[in-house]
Structure 1
Amino acid sequence: MKFLKNIQKLSGCLAAILTNQSAFGYNGKYHFQTYSEIFKLKTIFLPEHGLFAELQDQVSGDQLSYLFGNMEIVNLYGKEETSLVPPRKSLQNIDVVIIDIKDVGSRYYTFLTTAYYILEELSKLKKETGKAPIFLVIDSPNPIGSKVEGSPLLETYQSFVGVKSVLHRHGLTPGGLLTYYNETFQLNVDVVIVPVGIFHPLKTSSFEWVPPSPNIPTQNTCFVYPGMCLLEGTNLSEGRGTTKPFETFGAPYLLGDAKNELDLRMKNHQRGSFLLRNLRFLPTFHKYAGIICEGYQLIVVKPKQFHSLYFALYFLKQLNELFPKEFEYLKGVYEFRSDRPAIELLVGDPFLLEYLYGKHSDSEVETYLLENETSWSKQIKPYRY
């Protein structure tokens, strides 16, 4: 990886930036404001949710409007799939594309997929013209550390919520993952990493957490998200419309003897690494808005031992057995793809999908996950620092 510790060396360069409110500095300024004092900032690329995370998931940013001097605002999450790729003219006649946006450590999280699409376009531009802007990544810590979970996403399941070959919980920083893309897929872009510490202390507490998107309100949310995001592909509420999305989840039909049996089965799963608090909740929007749901709060007690993906897979498998008439996997368009249901795009692995339908034992899936996680950890060693 190429590192640059003094960003002033690029002073005066024409630049475009992918960023949002998560890039906020100790001096009380958003980083794009600081960059405008260093670079000739020409374009701001907007990710999903907008510059200040105003919009909910899967809501087009075409409605957003900002005015920052003469800067061009380019929305990279519109109503059509083509909007996800930056227009070629926005990448021409600039020296640097800056990526300064926080990740939460899961492959579903779309910000680094947007960055990957920019990286791909720079690669195409370089092949066609012989040159392309520098891809400058302002790197920040992974909020859930270097632990990994899951299995590689197969190419047939690739979508905006997952780039091929990456695990569900990848264990890399933005700079590490984007360098992995550049080298593994032979994109040959000039990727340069700058530690975020030049703008903000690297060791920050959870009290300084800036929500990168509307439904990641705390750092704790990031620990459950690698598994609980799977609930987006089901008729369970993943807690959107509550104050603790992904930590709060359930549905109106979780009642009766089947619910009691579900409680018992979950109590014996990954014993000691989490607690499940039974509760009722009323989503104010999204699934079951205005309807009382029976469900849980997921409380992670031992983050190093808790396996969020396996928790979610196991939970969904039990639901499929105990609530066969009520529980469903959703169909229809999800993140611009309609050829596969959301659960397939999120899980991204035939073996794990078969497990959800009872075709593999718990011990088999545990072994499978461990093998894939060990392999991935070896593969990404060059991209950790």
Structure 2
Amino acid sequence: MKKVLLIALLICSTLFCQAQTERVIVGAEQLNEYLPLLKDKRVAIFSNHTGMVGDKHLLDVLLEHKINVVAIFSPEHGFRGDADAGEHISSSVDKKTGVPILSLYNGKSGKPSKESMKKFDILVVDIQDVGLRFYTYYASMVRLMDACAESNRKMLILDRPNPNGHYVDGPILNMKYKSGVGWLPIPIVHGMTLGELAGMVNGEHWLPASRTCDITVIKCRNYTHQTMYQLPVPPSPNLPNMKAIYLYPSTCFFEGTPVSLGRGTSLPFQVYGHPNMKGYNYSFTPRSLPGAKNPPQLNRLCYGVNLSGLSDEEIWKKGVDLSYVIDAYRNLNLNDHFFRPFFELLVGTDYVRKMIKEGKSADEIKAMWQEDVVKFKKQRQPYLLYQE
């Protein structure tokens, strides 16, 4: 009997280990699931350099399978992913395939023209998001959802994991601060994939005039919200590694201040500093680099803090951590000159600035948004496609 139990335990242990190590299969890899949906259709894609299927780009894979791709919509940073944050990008043609590229980041509304929408029957979304309210890829997708809803076009989302999908944190956006870096009433870290978020946009009627978009999602396999997925391709020029992606929810707030967060260095979003910060041994000098042509504090020696040595576990434990911003605020002693209006667009509410000025701690401020976190986790539950 003991021998039978031991064998059963060994089998269960082996199966558990296999389940833990099974490779995540993203939506774009499941060709049998979605190629039949594209046959004999005029297809547009919303993608960039992250839309890889193994070692090939989705565009090349579709063309190899004789899919009629008529247009590419490109997000912030462009189709090849090398443009600066917020840089205006002209529409062009993909040199390799000759397919027209229609930029959504050309200084206009970010929504395609009605003429563009007439060119295709179905829009395929395949792009790697990082799960943060101020990361612009999801906002581009939502604007495309609205355009598809208006023009009676279908959307097919080839889902990819969220590298910050294991938690929810931060205040829900006060919609008076709606902007390109805050498009939906969601927390800073929403913990959802693009496929899940699109379902929530429809279900909560977040599109204008309560429109809904006809979406189909090809789900990832072997993925749950506790899967710590390592991105195979950096999603944008200043998120070069997983450390930057994990720190991004906490260091991005420096974009609304004069403090450098390392753009123009080898450690973007992993350091912070300013020429006038006192008492720090660490220093760095932002330079003009591809993807960061004119970074804050360009060519000025900055003193501050290097966060790149933190373990992933330390970063995950803290979640959205305002202690870095508070540290710089107190050190520089600039009072109101420390904060720019962009700060509220990033943080999504007006009480954070006030509490920092009042001398409150990061933990005291974090306590203010815990009800938002609980409320959102309940609200999003019907739209989750993957186990929490």
Give the TM-score range, shorter chain. Answer: 0.7 to 0.9
CA distance in 2, matches of 1:69, 1:167: 39
2:59 counterpart (13, 32, 50): 32
Contact kept in structure 2, 1:317 and 1:355, CA below 8 Å: no
1:321 aligns with 2:330: yes
Runs of 4+ in 1 over 6 A off after TM superposition: none
Contact kept in structure 2, 1:137 and 1:191, CA below 8 Å: yes
1:238 aligns with 2:261: yes
User: Alignment partner of 1:81: what SS?
Assistant: coil
1:222-244, Cα deviation, whole Å (9 max, x unpaired):
11111211111110101101111
- Name 2:297's counterpart in structure 1: 288
- Name 2:81's counterpart in structure 1: 53
Q: Residue type of the partner of 1:121?
A: A
Give TM-score, length-normalised by structure 2: 0.80
CA distance in 2, matches of 1:66, 1:147: 37
1:229 aligns with 2:252: yes
- Name 1:209's counterpart in structure 2: 232
CA distance in 2, matches of 1:362, 1:303: 15
1:268-288, Cα deviation, whole Å (9 max, x unpaired):
xxxxxxxxxx52111112112
- Name 1:116's counterpart in structure 2: 142
- Name 2:23's counterpart in structure 1: none
Offset of 1:362 from its aligned partner? 5.0
- Name 1:383's counterpart in structure 2: 383
1:146 aligns with 2:166: yes
Contact kept in structure 2, 1:153 and 1:165, CA below 8 Å: yes
1:3-36, Cα deviation, whole Å (9 max, x unpaired):
997112212211111100111121x211121122
1:108-167, Cα deviation, whole Å (9 max, x unpaired):
111111111111122223xxxxxx121111101111223011011011101111113111
- Name 1:95's counterpart in structure 2: 121
Q: Residue type of the partner of 1:306?
A: K
Contact kept in structure 1, 2:139 and 2:180, CA below 8 Å: yes
1:70-99, Cα deviation, whole Å (9 max, x unpaired):
522101111x232x1111111125221111
2:217 counterpart (193, 204, 222): 193
1:306 aligns with 2:317: yes
1:137 aligns with 2:157: yes
Ranges in structure 2 where 5+ consecutive residues have no aligned partner: 1-26, 289-294
CA distance in 2, matches of 1:24, 1:215: 19
CA distance in 1, matches of 2:272, 2:329: 16
Change (3 A) 1:327 1:175: same
Change (3 A) 1:219 1:321: closer
1:43 aligns with 2:71: yes
User: Alignment partner of 2:76: what SS?
Assistant: coil
Contact kept in structure 2, 1:347 and 1:353, CA below 8 Å: no
Offset of 1:174 from its aligned partner? 1.1
Offset of 1:52 from its aligned partner? 1.3
Contact kept in structure 2, 1:96 and 1:133, CA below 8 Å: yes
User: Alignment partner of 2:234: what SS?
Assistant: coil
Change (3 A) 1:329 1:118: farther
1:161 counterpart (168, 181, 198): 181
CA distance in 1, matches of 2:275, 2:239: 24
CA distance in 2, matches of 1:63, 1:16: 14
Change (3 A) 1:63 1:287: farther
User: Alignment partner of 1:380: what SS?
Assistant: helix
- Percent sequence identity is 26
1:353 aligns with 2:353: yes
Change (3 A) 1:222 1:364: same
Offset of 1:375 from its aligned partner? 1.5
User: Alignment partner of 1:90: what SS?
Assistant: helix
CA distance in 1, matches of 2:348, 2:103: 27
Larger CA deviation: 278-287 vs 315-324? 315-324
1:247 counterpart (270, 281, 285): 270
Contact kept in structure 2, 1:253 and 1:326, CA below 8 Å: no
1:107 counterpart (133, 136, 140): 133
CA distance in 2, matches of 1:308, 1:48: 25
Ranges in structure 1 where 5+ consecutive residues have no aligned partner: 126-131, 260-277, 332-340
Q: Residue type of the partner of 1:193?
A: V
User: Alignment partner of 1:306: what SS?
Assistant: helix
1:22-55, Cα deviation, whole Å (9 max, x unpaired):
11121x2111211222531111001111111121
Q: Residue type of the partner of 2:238?
A: N
Offset of 1:305 from its aligned partner? 4.5
CA distance in 2, matches of 1:222, 1:147: 14
1:279 aligns with 2:282: yes
Change (3 A) 1:14 1:68: farther
Contact kept in structure 2, 1:154 and 1:164, CA below 8 Å: no
Offset of 1:383 from its aligned partner? 2.2
Give TM-score, length-normalised by structure 1: 0.81
Larger radius of gyration: 2
Task: Report the count of equivalent residues.
Answer: 338
- Name 2:17's counterpart in structure 1: none
1:162-194, Cα deviation, whole Å (9 max, x unpaired):
113111011001111121112212432111101
